[in-house]
Amino acid sequence: MNQLILIIFGLFLSHGTGAYLSQGVTGNKPVNDGPHIYRVNDKLKAEWIQNSVFMEAFIGPENFSKFSRKFNLSFTYDDLIKAFLLRPNHDQKYLNADSIAVISDIHGNYPVYTDLLKVTGIIDDDLNWNFGKGHLVILGDMFDRGDMVTEVLWHLFGLEIQAEKAGGKVHVLLGNHEFMALRNDLCYASPKYARSASYSNKDYADHFSDLSVLGKWLRSKPVIITIDDIMFVHGGISDEMVQQKMDIRKINRIFTEKILGKNLYKINKSESFRLLNGNHGPLWYRGYFHDPGFCENSIDNILDFYGMKHIVVGHTPNVTINSLFGNKVIGADTGICDGRSGEILIYKDGNFFQSLCTGRRNKL
C-alpha cells in the first residue's frame, strides 16, 4: 500500500492527477489547503486538499525535493523530523537583541503578512530571511478569519529555521485564536477550514495534534517572552494577574500543560486556570485600551513586578500602532484582520518606530 501511494504521488507531481475524491461538503469555490504532515510509525505522511480533492502520500528523503517545490517549502526533510524533538521552553528571556520587529494578529492574511515583511526588509523578494541577527516577534493569532492560515504557519516554520542559521530569531507566541483552534473551536474560522477538515475526514484540530509537524511545533511555543527590558504577550498582563504573583515561567508552563488543547470545562474547574484563560488573562485582556480606569500607575505596578520597562501586545485592533504612557504600553495589532494594510513595530537602538506598509518609519 505504501508503495502504491508513493507511485500515485509521483504521478501527481509529474502530471497533476489526483488521488482520492472527497466525500465531503461541496461548494461553489474549490477548496485548497495543506499540506499537513504527520508521523505514522517511522514514516512521514502528507495530506492536502487540491480543488476539493483529498490527496495523501508518504514522503521521505527520496521524494521530498519534488514535494517541497510543489508547496514552496523553505526547509528540509530533516527539519520536519527534528520538529518532533521540540520541547516547550517556559522561560524565554533574550538579551542584547540587535533589532526587533513585531507583527500581530495576521489571521490567515498571508499576502499582507508577506508584503509587510518584504517592505520592512525582514524577508527578501523570495520570502527568505533577510533580517540578519534581528528578532522577529509574532504576537499570536495566526489562525482564523482569513483563508491562508496554513501558508502563514509553514512560512513561519521555515523562517524560524533560516533566522537561527543567520544568528537571528523568530519568536512565535500563542494567542487566543491558537488556543481556540487547537480545541477545535471554529466559530471564527474561515468556512474553508470546516470544509477542508470534512474532506480529510478529520476534525480541524487533528491537523495540529502532537502527531503532526505543525502541531508539535505550535505546542512548543510560549505565551510570554521577554527581550531585554521588553515583555511580549498577545493580550496583556492585568492587575488581577499580578495579584496572583505568577512569574512568566509558571504562566507559560500552565498554558502548555493545562490549557492548550484542553476542554473548556476542565480548564474552568480551576480558579487560577479560569483567570489565565479569561478576560483578565494574557490571551484575552484588553484593559489597556478599553478600560477607562486603567492608568499609568497600574502599568507601572505591572512592569515593576516583572522587572520590565515596556510591554508590547496585540489582540486589540487599532487603526495604527498605539503607544500609551510614553511607550510603556504599545499595541501592535493594526487591524490586518479587518482588511487593513497593517504596520510593523520596529525597535532599534533604544527607540520604537512605526513601520508603514510603504516602508516609511515614524519614531514613536
Domain chopping of the chain, boundaries: 2-73, 93-363
Q: Tens digit of pLDDT for each residue in 223-282?
A: 999 999 999 999 999 999 999 999 999 999 999 999 999 989 889 999 999 999 999 999
The yes/no answer on whether domain 93-363 falls in CATH 3.60.21.10 is yes
pLDDT classification of 102: cutoffs 50, 70, 90 = very high
- Of 13-22, 213-222, 283-292, 352-361, give the lowest mean pLDDT range: 13-22
Give the pairing type, strands 310-313 and 53-59: unpaired
Buried b (16+ CB within 10 A) or exposed e, 4-16: ebbebbeebeeee
Q: What is the pLDDT of residues 291-307, one digit of tens each?
A: 999 999 999 999 999 99
Q: Please, which residues have CB within 8 angstroms of residue 219's CB and are 6 or more apart in sequence?
A: 86, 88, 182, 210, 256, 260, 261
Hey, what's the torsion of the CAs at 80, 84, 87, 93, to 10 degrees?
Answer: 0
* CB of 134 closer than 8 Å to CB of 97: yes
